[in-house]
A and B are shown apart, each in its own frame.
Chain A
Amino acid sequence: MAANPPTAVRPTPAPQGADGGERPRSAPRTAAGRARFSPTAGAWIQAGFLVLIAAIALVPLVAIFVGTFQDGNDVIRRGMTFDVDLGALSLDNYVLLFTDSGPYFRWFANSLLLTVAQVAGTLLVSSFVAYGFAMYEFRGKTLWFVMVLLVMTVPFEMLMLPLYVQVNDMGLADTYTVIVLPFLAAAVTIFFFRQYFLGIPRELLEAGRVDGVTEYGIFFRIVLPISKPAMAAMAILNGMICWNNFLWPLLVLRTPEKFTLPIGLNTLLTPYGNNYELLIIGAFFSLIPILILFLAFQRFFIEGMTAGAVKG
């Protein structure tokens, strides 16, 4: 990824990690370091501005959190408001969620299962493909890699109709297989792994070959074990995509028992719904796994989600 800013000129390394990682506590406490962070007027204005923008960005999330304590029908009818009636807040929705939420936790479990399966499959298959592109010279390599780039830049929306017709003909509609299968060799993930593998010294592979390890053994036993950072970034990226996946499951899933969380939440939004209490708190709870992961692995999120960038 991006190179560190040259540190030769200034002895103090830049406090922000080059990959966007947050490591404020490891910022050096040298005299120079302190001097640079002295609160000047400019810094105060900058800080005030950044906090203001951050606060605006957080409003929708705070609103949905507050909404979990409000009467669902009221929120749907009147919208989310700054003028929250504090006296009317209650835990009723939480009681409902954990006692009488119908299929909600079924959707949750389905999403969880599907996400784990898809992430595991995608990481394995995509890194396998990427290794071929990164480590070998072969005929047609340029052509096939350009295909990866093209696939990477065609939005799924363009493919959805023909793919939908295709899987119906293959008799795969309404299965989890068809949600996962077309995306195991995921272009962005292949691209990212290829970049990562290109940085692995070839001598390591040659050493393996001298020791009699097969081509595939080199991948599984030598390269994969040293690729954990790339795995982490791609696990996060694919996990998030899969957890939030909406359009494709919306097309192929028919049986309510198979619904995933986004599909299920969408069914709660119907005009004749009587489950609005569940809609807000259900939407909020669908965010929690990702928010927890984000707080724990922020660096990998940012690395993964900005993975598509072709570094010039």
Chain B
Amino acid sequence: MKQLLYSKRVAPYVFILPFLITLAVFWVVPLGRSFVMSTQEVLYGQATFIGADNYARLWRDEIFWKAMFNSMRYMVLTILLLVPIPLVLAALVNAKIGSPRVKAFFKASMFVPALTSVVVAGIVFRLIFAESDSAMMNQVAEFFGLGPVRWLRGDLTGLAALLSLALWRWTGVNMMYFVAGMQSIPSEYYEAASMDGAGKFRQFLLITVPNLKPTIVYVVTISIYGGLAMFLESFMLYAGNNSPNNQGLTVVGYLYRKGIEENDLGFASAVGVVLLVIVMTINLTYLVASGTFKKQEA
């Protein structure tokens, strides 16, 4: 027995065993139950099979669609902000000119926001986007000749606050992804291009961006599921899961409301299943497109 356990044939399974157990106990079983529960009405521990009723209810549920719209909108806008801006900043930091001290200071300053917890970041942004005339963002608004804005009361202004929070926390991290990617682009490419008379801007568009494609694909992918799964930012900014007209409600927020706050486990599971299917479809598409499966087989 002991000899078998120590053999080279069995050892790899012993090594990956903790992962297999975790996968089974904390992923497969709960998610499987989630599928089952989504076809049930679960009340006080009593489960009754009701087929696709939860999904039918979901389809007709306006608040669910509102939450889905909010999540999708947030995801698209974070991608539009959190890819180009960090990319340009990374190019600036990676440029040959400039003082290394300034760049080091810049990189550190951009990275620090990612170290804050969503609780602290949420508290601070809630106070920066407060309603009074003297709150920071209203002082900025006043500088541009705009009256005091009740940021978190309006749909689009609330969204602006959420996006500012996302931009603040993740610009630095995405920038570091791009910097790492840029440093593996051979400098001969740039030398050849500048001999051909290409300016810095053309070099950025014709060499940097195409060569960063794997990094860009990766950052877009994490932004897709990070955006769709967004919940805590809104939870902290609105100091709870309720916002005016559900303007800050996301799909995960709705799942939390139904499953945890209202204990409607069957319906909440249906919300979870729909979200999981969307995210897994995106992930599998990405893994196939990036050739991950092929690399493993080779």
Contact = CB atoms under 8 A, between A and B. Distances in A.
Contacts of B99: 37, 39, 43, 47
B31 A63 contact: no
Classify the secondary structure of B's interface with A: helix
B131 A79 contact: yes
Contact of B226 (A80, A155, A298): A155
A311 B102 contact: no
Interface in A178-212: 181-182, 184-185, 190
A163 B280 CA distance: 18
Given A60-B124, A128-B15, A265-B120, 14 more contacts: A6-B187, A9-B187, A53-B110, A78-B130, A82-B136, A133-B16, A135-B12, A137-B12, A153-B279, A153-B286, A154-B276, A154-B283, A155-B228, A244-B119
Interface of A: 1-6, 9-10, 14-16, 18-20, 22, 24, 27, 36-37, 39-40, 42-43, 46-47, 49-51, 53-55, 57-61, 63-64, 67, 75-83, 125, 128-129, 131-133, 135-138, 141-142, 144-151, 153-166, 181-182, 184-185, 190, 214-216, 219, 240, 243-244, 246-247, 251, 262, 265-266, 269, 271, 279-280, 283, 286-287, 290-291, 294, 298, 301-302, 305-306, 308-312
Interface residues of B, number: 123
10 contacts: A43-B97, A43-B99, A61-B112, A64-B120, A128-B15, A155-B228, A162-B33, A162-B37, A164-B259, A312-B290
Contacts of B98: 37, 43, 46-47, 50
B46 interface: no
Central interface residue in A3, A5, A42, A182, by most chain B CB within 10 Å = A5
B102 A51 contact: yes
A50 B103 contact: yes
Interface stretch (B49-57, B201-209, B217-225): B217-225
Contacts of A311: 184, 214
Given A132-B15, A144-B20, A4 B109 contact: no
A183 to B, nearest CB: 8
A190 B61 CA distance: 40
A59 B113 CA distance: 10
Given A125-B18, A150-B280, A271-B239, A246 B106 contact: no
A173 to B, nearest CB: 12
Nearest to B130: A79
Nearest to A279: B123
B39 interface: no
Contacts, number: 347
B229 to A, nearest CB: 4
Contacts of A271: 239
A60 B128 contact: yes
A306 B110 contact: no
A6 B186 contact: yes
A286 B117 contact: yes
A240 B229 CA distance: 20
A181 B168 CA distance: 32
A55 B109 CA distance: 8
Contacts of A137: 12
A59 B139 CA distance: 14
Contact of B214 (A50, A141, A310): A310
B27 A159 contact: yes
